[in-house]
């Protein structure tokens, strides 16, 4: 039996239809929430507790969206860090700027939001690369805050929270 171009095309089409081969298309555009991460200076973050409710602890924080993850530097004893240490690794974030969360009167709840899964990041090389991204994003404030973040991560008074974005 001779293999012709026609038979090859028919066989290839049959494989595609049967699911044996899947064409690779350009990835879909990110969700509005993921797209908003690259435009906002703040996120509003709250841990999600074991029964699925939001924690009573909320706050607006600086963050960077780097290599498809969200990073937050915070004091080692902050509720954000304590929640992750206690196993409350799921958090909810709203992306946008509405002022201090207490005075925002829940306006941030109208913003795009995501549920993310966090962990503490202790790797010094990750700290360095993420702090570089923070420095570029918050350039006007970095002269003051950069040393605090760097020194705090080095001496353990601050931690780097690394959140996986599941979009």
pTM over 0.85: no
Mean pLDDT of 121-150: 96
Mean pLDDT of 11-17: 42
* Domain contains 121: yes
The answer, yes or no, to whether residue 8 has pLDDT greater than 50, is no
* Domain contains 120: yes
* Domain contains 62: yes
Q: DSSP string covering 65-105, please?
A: EETTEEEEEEETTSHHHHHHHTT--EEEEEES--SSTTTTT
Q: Can you give the pLDDT at residue 3?
A: 54
* Domain contains 122: yes
The total of structural domains in the chain comes to: 1
Q: In this structure, are strands 64-66 and 42-47 parallel, antiparallel, or unpaired?
A: unpaired
Look up the CATH number of the domain holding residue 40: 2.30.110.10
> How crowded is residue 47: how many other Cβ atoms within 10 Å of its Cβ?
22
Mean pLDDT of 28-41: 84
* Domain contains 149: yes
Residue 118 belongs to what domain range? 32-165
15 in helix, strand or coil? helix
* Domain contains 25: no
Q: Can you give the pLDDT at residue 31?
A: 84
Q: Can you give the pLDDT at residue 53?
A: 80
């Amino acid at each position: 039996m001779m293999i012709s171009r026609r038979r090859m095309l028919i066989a290839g089409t049959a494989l595609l239809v049967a699911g044996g081969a899947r064409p690779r298309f350009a990835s879909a555009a990110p969700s509005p929430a993921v797209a908003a991460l690259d435009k906002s200076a703040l996120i509003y973050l709250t841990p999600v507790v074991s029964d699925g409710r939001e924690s009573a602890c909320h706050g607006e924080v600086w963050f960077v969206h780097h290599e498809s993850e969200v990073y937050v530097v915070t004091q080692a004893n902050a509720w954000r860090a304590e929640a992750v240490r206690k196993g409350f690794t799921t958090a909810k974030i709203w992306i946008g700027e509405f002022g201090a969360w207490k005075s925002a009167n829940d306006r941030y709840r109208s913003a795009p939001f995501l549920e993310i899964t966090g962990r503490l990041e202790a790797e010094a090389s990750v700290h360095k690369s993420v702090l570089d991204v923070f420095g570029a994003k918050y350039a006007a404030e970095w002269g003051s805050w950069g040393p605090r973040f760097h020194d705090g991560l080095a001496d353990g008074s601050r931690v780097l929270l690394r959140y996986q974005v599941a979009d």
